[in-house]
């Protein structure tokens, strides 16, 4: 049964799959306190898709209480059984891939095939972590004949997941899968711009056999819903992905209750191109790195740092790529969809203006499209000074800044001259040089002769202001487990 709040006249197919747009707490759909709602907008048309319950602080309280109650049984489920349940979530996501992708594309704006790959990636998180459920072993530590000492890895309890709008379903899975496998219960707050896929995923978790209360979803605004979650006394761990200022705020808030946080806060990621690189291949990787998801990716290749001798050739290749990309509504599966919201379009275009005003040259693009929807052309800037805003700040749109270097030391200095340190790429045919740079680059993820080299099984996270802790891979489980050391006197 679809919620009455959905306007049936405008309902595209994807919404048929969604039972409700209320809050999902303790396995039930419930309206927000005071029946407060928010409108989620189709960024390709600027039209409302649905009104969705907007959680208030007391709804967050109810969700956290449900998670707390559910936790005590969930942690006691045989780990192998927990693994089977989590694996079933992955299978159900695969079974419902087209429907979830359509929902994600509608709500977020991304091209359908990119949404599909996000959804398959989401399924893979559940499948990957499911296999770890019965392998979360402790250690035994030799203390001599008179004692026994061993460690146990225990779940924290209630894990809060505060999700951004760029990969709503995929980042839900990235956090919820390891949290569940480790035996935690979760309360998820999706971004106000993109609440829909999380609601559907919560329902699939229940269908897979996750007990009521173990996965709760409370759409709402950062204030009050996100804030209430971050400061809740009964939340034991917070995972956040988003901007640096909000991440700092969450860390301050969590300090009050001494709650551990995992933060993934974006980047300004350099792609360093040496003259000996295969320039055509480098340009292709970089174009994928900056224009996928309309550039709204924390690990996007948003800064090219290229040797001056090959700058023109590389820029020509990049411009050819950018100019060949199709732009349109996600449902038509173009190369580039709209950006997520009117506010975000405004932010991206104001960076483009700042670049032009500052004296950088637009090689291609540079304009928002004169049509409904939040479309902006793939844009490439050259003559970018390292001090310009477009060289330093995360634009989070399809906007690439090209800087040049003279020698290797220069390249490293330019690449590291950033408050961020999430990803970096090196394009070169010289394996020794590649390894030298891998060592020097201040980034949690370094790609060599490719971009987006990470997979579900590889650890991902930032140096410097790009974050704390690691997501993905086995390492992510460390965020969801605390160590208990047991010391026994045998005398």
Catalytic (active-site) positions: 264, 298
Q: Is 264 in the site for ligand NAP (CB under 6 A)?
A: yes
Binding mask 189-208 toward ligand NAP (x if CB under 6 A, else -) reads x-xx----------------
Q: Which is nearer to ligand NAP, 150 or 221 (CB)?
A: 221
Q: How far is the CB of 37 from ligand NAP (least distance, A)?
A: 13
Locate tokens 């996270």: which residue?
A: 461
Residue 409 parent element (H or E): helix 408-416
Q: Is 226 in the site for ligand NAP (CB under 6 A)?
A: yes
> Which residues sit opposite 438 in a β-bridge?
none
Chosen residue from 104, 107, 124, 264 binding Mg ion by CB under 5 A: 107
The Cα diameter of the chain in Å comes to: 81
Chosen residue from 33, 151, 243, 449 binding ligand NAP by CB under 6 A: 243
Q: Is 41 in the site for ligand NAP (CB under 6 A)?
A: no
Q: Is 187 in the site for ligand NAP (CB under 6 A)?
A: no
Q: Is 222 in the site for ligand NAP (CB under 6 A)?
A: yes
According to CB under 5 A, which residues from 36 to 55 bind Mg ion?
40-41
Q: Tell me if 262 sits within 8 A of 238, measured CB to CB.
A: yes
According to CB under 6 A, which residues from 293 to 312 bind ligand NAP?
298
Q: Is 203 in the site for Mg ion (CB under 5 A)?
A: no
Helix boundaries (H) for 131-243? 168-181, 196-208, 227-230
Q: How far is the CB of 254 from ligand NAP (least distance, A)?
A: 10
Report the candidate in 374, 92, 290 with the shortest Cα–Cα distance to residue 207: 92
Q: Which is nearer to ligand NAP, 92 or 162 (CB)?
A: 162
Helix boundaries (H) for 217-366? 227-230, 244-256, 279-291, 311-324, 342-357
Q: Which is nearer to Mg ion, 41 or 399 (CB)?
A: 41
- The binder of 107, among Mg ion, ligand NAP, none, by C-beta within 5 to 8 A per type, is Mg ion
Cβ burial, residue 356 (10 Å; 0-12/13-18/19+): middle
- The binder of 162, among Mg ion, ligand NAP, none, by C-beta within 5 to 8 A per type, is ligand NAP
Residue 79 parent element (H or E): helix 79-95
Q: Which is nearer to ligand NAP, 83 or 266 (CB)?
A: 266
Chosen residue from 246, 269, 293, 445 binding ligand NAP by CB under 6 A: 246
Q: Which is nearer to ligand NAP, 428 or 466 (CB)?
A: 466
CB atoms within 10 A of CB 399: 27
According to CB under 6 A, which residues from 66 to 85 bind ligand NAP?
none
- The binder of 299, among ligand NAP, Mg ion, none, by C-beta within 5 to 8 A per type, is none
Q: Which is nearer to ligand NAP, 83 or 178 (CB)?
A: 178
Q: Which is nearer to ligand NAP, 29 or 221 (CB)?
A: 221
Is 137 strand, coil or helix? coil
- The binder of 40, among Mg ion, ligand NAP, none, by C-beta within 5 to 8 A per type, is Mg ion
Count of positions on this chain that bind Mg ion (CB under 5 A): 4
Choices 91-99, 107-115, 188-196, 350-358 (CB under 6 A): range interacting with ligand NAP: 188-196
Chosen residue from 159, 197, 241, 349 binding ligand NAP by CB under 6 A: 241
Q: How far is the CB of 142 from ligand NAP (least distance, A)?
A: 43
Report the candidate in 317, 326, 422, 308 with the shortest Cα–Cα distance to residue 380: 317
- The binder of 189, among ligand NAP, Mg ion, none, by C-beta within 5 to 8 A per type, is ligand NAP
Q: How far is CA 373 from CA 50, 52, 192, 255, 344, in A?
A: 17, 21, 18, 40, 12
Cβ burial, residue 361 (10 Å; 0-12/13-18/19+): middle
Q: Is 264 in the site for Mg ion (CB under 5 A)?
A: no
Taking the CA of residue 461 as centre, how many other CA atoms within 13 Å lie in the half-sphere pointing to its CB? 22
Q: Which is nearer to ligand NAP, 69 or 347 (CB)?
A: 347
Residues 6+ apart with CB under 8 A from 8: 2
Q: How far is the CB of 195 from ligand NAP (least distance, A)?
A: 8
Rounded Cα distance between 267 and 241, Å, is 12
Q: How far is CA 140 from CA 143, 151, 448, 486, in A?
A: 9, 6, 39, 9
Q: Which residue is nearest to Mg ion (CB)?
A: 40
**Distance from the Cα of residue 464 to its chain's centroid:** 18
Residues 6+ apart with CB under 8 A from 438: 426, 446, 448
Dump the DSSP string for 321-359.
HHHH--B--GGG--SB---S-HHHHHHHHHHHHHHHHTT
Q: Which is nearer to ligand NAP, 105 or 341 (CB)?
A: 341
Sites of contact with Mg ion (CB under 5 A): 40-41, 107, 193
Sites of contact with ligand NAP (CB under 6 A): 162-166, 189, 191-192, 221-223, 226-227, 230, 241-243, 246, 249-250, 264-266, 298, 347, 394, 396
């Amino acid at each position: 049964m679809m919620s009455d709040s959905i306007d049936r006249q405008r309902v595209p197919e994807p919404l048929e799959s969604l039972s409700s747009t209320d809050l999902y707490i303790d396995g039930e759909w419930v309206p927000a306190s005071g029946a407060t709602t928010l409108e989620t907008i189709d960024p390709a048309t600027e039209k409302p898709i649905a009104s969705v319950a907007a959680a208030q602080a007391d709804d967050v309280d109810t969700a956290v209480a449900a998670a707390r109650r559910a936790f005590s049984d969930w942690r006691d489920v045989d780990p192998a059984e927990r693994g089977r349940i989590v694996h079933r979530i992955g299978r159900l996501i695969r079974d419902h891939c087209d429907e979830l992708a359509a929902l994600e594309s509608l709500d977020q704006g991304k091209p359908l095939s990119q949404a599909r790959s996000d959804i398959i990636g989401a399924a893979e998180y559940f499948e990957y972590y499911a296999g770890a459920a019965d392998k979360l072993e402790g250690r035994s530590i030799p203390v001599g004949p008179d004692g026994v000492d061993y460690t146990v890895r225990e779940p924290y309890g209630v894990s809060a997941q505060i999700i951004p709008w760029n990969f709503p379903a995929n980042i839900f899975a990235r956090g919820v899968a390891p949290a569940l496998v480790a035996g935690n219960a979760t309360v998820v707050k999706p971004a106000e711009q993109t609440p829909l896929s999380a609601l559907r995923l919560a329902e699939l978790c229940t269908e897979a056999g996750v007990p009521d209360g173990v996965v709760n979803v409370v759409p709402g605004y950062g204030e009050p819903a996100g804030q209430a979650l971050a400061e809740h006394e009964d939340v034991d761990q917070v995972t956040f992905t988003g901007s640096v200022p909000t991440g700092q705020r969450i860390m301050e808030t969590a300090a009050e209750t001494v709650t551990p946080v995992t933060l993934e806060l974006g980047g300004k990621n350099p792609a360093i191109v040496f003259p000996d690189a295969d320039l055509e291949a480098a340009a292709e990787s970089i174009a994928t790195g900056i224009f996928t998801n309309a550039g709204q990716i924390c690990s996007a290749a948003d800064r090219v740092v290229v040797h001056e001798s090959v700058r023109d050739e590389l820029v020509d290749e990049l411009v050819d790529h950018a100019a060949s990309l199709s732009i349109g509504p996600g449902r038509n599966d173009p190369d580039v969809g709209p950006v997520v919201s009117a506010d975000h379009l405004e932010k991206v275009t104001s960076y483009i203006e700042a670049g032009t005003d500052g004296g950088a040259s637009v090689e291609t693009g540079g304009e928002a499209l004169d049509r409904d929807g939040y479309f902006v052309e793939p844009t490439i800037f050259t003559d970018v000074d390292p001090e310009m805003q477009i060289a330093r700040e995360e634009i989070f749109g399809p906007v690439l800044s090209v800087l040049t270097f003279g020698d290797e030391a220069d390249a490293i200095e330019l690449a590291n001259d950033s408050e961020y340190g999430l990803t970096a790429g090196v394009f070169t045919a010289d394996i020794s040089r590649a390894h030298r740079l891998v060592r020097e680059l201040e980034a949690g993820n370094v790609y060599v002769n490719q971009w987006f080299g990470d997979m579900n099984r590889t650890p991902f996270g930032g140096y410097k202001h790009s974050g704390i802790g690691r997501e993905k891979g086995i390492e992510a489980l460390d965020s969801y487990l605390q160590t208990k050391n047991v010391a026994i006197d045998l005398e």
